[in-house]
């Protein structure tokens, strides 16, 4: 199983419900505020590169970890594989945390560099910000 908690065993009504939860989390007020802060944090990075499979490692971060570093969240004690724990620490829905983690770690079928991951994830974040909130 991936860090997002996603598996190939989800289908039918369970999948429909899950995708609804993800979309609701991304479009909601809390999700939009998070995405806007995340976009700002990504843009402020002096070195535009993102890691996979961890929140932070050797001074580098995954997409969610970038905002955690800006907010001063102690990510050392967080289990990057526990989407509920990560969601609680960041004040977002578990469905949103799982989706961001999935996109960060597995959102590309191509082998990509950390710099390419940053470009892809910054684009994804921007695409999920509502037009009235767009940056």
Per-residue pLDDT reduced to its tens digit, 30-53:
999 999 999 999 999 999 999 999
Per-residue pLDDT band for 4 (boundaries 50, 70, 90) equals very low
The DSSP bridge pattern shows strands 56-57 and 60-61 to be antiparallel
Give the mean pLDDT of 94-120. Answer: 94
Q: Which two tokens stand for residue 13?
A: 């009504």
* pLDDT at residue number 15: 74
Per-residue pLDDT band for 17 (boundaries 50, 70, 90) equals confident
Backbone angles phi, psi at 31, to 5 degrees: -65, -40
| pLDDT tens, position by position, 54-89 | 999 999 999 999 999 999 999 998 999 999 999 999
> pTM to 2 decimals?
0.84
Contact 79, 101 (CB under 8 A): no
CA-to-CA distance for 90 and 20, rounded, in angstroms? 21
Backbone angles phi, psi at 57, to 5 degrees: -160, 125
């Amino acid at each position: 199983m991936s860090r997002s908690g996603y598996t190939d065993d989800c289908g039918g009504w369970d999948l429909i419900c899950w995708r609804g939860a993800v979309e609701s989390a991304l479009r909601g007020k809390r999700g939009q505020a998070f995405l806007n802060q995340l976009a700002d944090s990504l843009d402020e990075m002096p070195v535009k590169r993102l890691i996979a499979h961890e929140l932070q490692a050797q001074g580098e971060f995954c997409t969610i970890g970038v905002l955690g570093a800006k907010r001063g969240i102690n990510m050392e004690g967080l289990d990057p594989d526990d989407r509920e724990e990560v969601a609680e620490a960041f004040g977002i829905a578990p469905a949103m945390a799982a989706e961001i983690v999935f996109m960060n770690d597995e959102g590309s079928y191509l082998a990509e560099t950390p710099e390419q991951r940053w470009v892809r994830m910054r684009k994804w974040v921007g695409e999920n910000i509502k037009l009235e909130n767009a940056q």
